Amino acid sequence: MEIKKYEDDLIAELETVVNEIITESPKLNIAVKKGERVGDAISKFFEDNFVAKTQTHTHFSNSEASPTGKTKNPWDARTDYTIQGFKQDVWIDFKAVNVENEDTNPDSGTPDKIIAHILNNNFYLVFIYVFYQGSGDGGLEFVKVDGKFVKPYFLKDISSTFRITPANQMQVNGSAKPEYRTREEFLQLLLTKKVESNERKLKKATQELENLKGGLFKKTKSMEIKLSDLSANNKAQEDAIKNLK
């Protein structure tokens, strides 16, 4: 089987399941106002329903939802995807987007998690985007964007505009379109992004080091804190103490 067909079939199966969930529950009793995001509650709804929906699925089995309260879990839901006896542990990350909000830059997790996933002889982490807005009756309703309720894509196909932040989180604009690439091309891109991230951190650290060597404790757009400033402040305090009776 061609890798591309394998991937297309997996995405299609996931999209079908999530579309069925939305068809059965097009509205949720979750309050939302313009500008607000209630992604965690929506994600939990899909996690639990995905597990329920795949109990007797032809290709998905052993599905799990993220443990409640475990904020650092590498997936929102996971499932075993089996075709002709070949099984992969597929991780799912639900992304609920309020269409009334401006573009956002949601974190997509640490790259370390996908590295660990690959080392465990798996590969696929799937972002499943769903879209919603306030329904006017105190709840929310799912809506279509570009004619679709559900837009799933693999992490490996993430927009090349993504970056890795200083906190080692992958970040991409919520409206950025995925770009198909091979698995090997993704590994090369991930390495490139790690290099770029570390170069940015090195540049910042080098500048901070030079500032410190020059007696500059802190520098922002609005202020500078120099050693001489702290020394003057300290001297004034010491003089005041020495003048005590």
Residue with more model confidence, 106 or 68: 68
pLDDT at 155: 96
| Residue 148: other Cβ atoms inside 10 A | 13
Lowest pLDDT segment from 106-115, 182-191, 223-232: 106-115
**Per-domain residue ranges of the chain:** 3-197, 214-245
> Per DSSP, which regions of the chain are E strands?
27-28, 60-65, 77-83, 86-98, 125-134, 140-142, 150-154, 163-164, 170-171, 216-219, 224-226
pTM: 0.85
Question: Is the CB of residue 154 less than 8 Å from the CB of residue 164?
Answer: no
Which residues, 6 or more positions from 80, have their beta carbon under 8 angstroms from its beta carbon? Answer: 60, 61, 62, 63, 87, 88, 89, 90
* Each residue's pLDDT tens digit, 131-181: 998 887 778 999 999 999 999 999 999 999 999 999 999 998 877 899 999
Rounded distance, CA 216 to CA 207, Å? 11
Rounded distance, CA 133 to CA 212, Å? 49
CA 93 to chain centre: 8
Look up the CATH architecture of domain 3-197: 3-Layer(aba) Sandwich (3.40)
Confidence of residue 35 (pLDDT cuts 50, 70, 90): low
Rounded distance, CA 157 to CA 30, Å? 31
Question: Exposed, middle or buried, 131 (CB in 10 Å: 0-12/13-18/19+)?
Answer: buried
pLDDT surpasses 60 at 117: yes
Q: What SS3 class is residue 222?
A: coil
Confidence of residue 68 (pLDDT cuts 50, 70, 90): confident
